[in-house]
């Protein structure tokens, strides 16, 4: 257990990078992924960016909330711009909005968890 505590930041960085790559792939692939096609697209965006915010905050705790929000929002815009050029995909500001909501709820959740853990 002590080993995990000592290396938590490294695990968080690896998790963030793997998740970022997975989301990039899923968002830009031309393959049809059945489980993702049968879900509400905005929920996928919300969950992805909620998760990214938690992992980014865990792996880079000294980075400001503004910087984290900005970086993740830029990543979301990047995905939408790339999707504009991919057949059967399109640019959607509603997706960016869902990304933003996921980031904000991620911020609230991370802040609450941090406060609870500090009290323990």
Structure tokens given for 20: 């970022």
The rounded distance, in Å, linking the Cα atoms of 104 and 108 is 6
In this prediction, residue 74 carries a pLDDT of 97
Cα 114 from chain centroid?
18
In this prediction, residue 4 carries a pLDDT of 62
In this prediction, residue 29 carries a pLDDT of 86
Alpha carbon dihedral 43, 45, 48, 52, in 10-degree steps, equals -130
In this prediction, residue 3 carries a pLDDT of 66
In this prediction, residue 108 carries a pLDDT of 97
In this prediction, residue 117 carries a pLDDT of 80
In this prediction, residue 7 carries a pLDDT of 81
Give residue limits of the domains in the chain: 2-119
For the chain of 120 residues, list the mean pLDDT of each consecutive stretch of 10: 73 94 90 63 93 96 96 97 90 94 97 82
């Amino acid at each position: 257990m002590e080993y995990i505590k000592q290396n938590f930041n490294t695990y968080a960085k690896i998790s963030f990078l793997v998740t970022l790559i997975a989301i990039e792939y899923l968002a830009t692939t031309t393959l049809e992924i059945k489980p993702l096609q049968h879900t509400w697209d905005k929920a996928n965006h919300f969950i992805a960016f909620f998760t990214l915010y938690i992992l980014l905050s865990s792996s880079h705790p000294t980075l400001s909330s503004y910087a984290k929000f900005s970086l993740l929002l830029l990543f979301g815009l990047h995905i939408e711009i790339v999707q504009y050029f991919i057949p059967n995909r399109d640019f959607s500001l509603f997706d960016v909005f869902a990304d933003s909501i996921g980031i904000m709820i991620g911020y609230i959740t991370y802040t609450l968890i941090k406060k609870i853990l500090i009290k323990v």
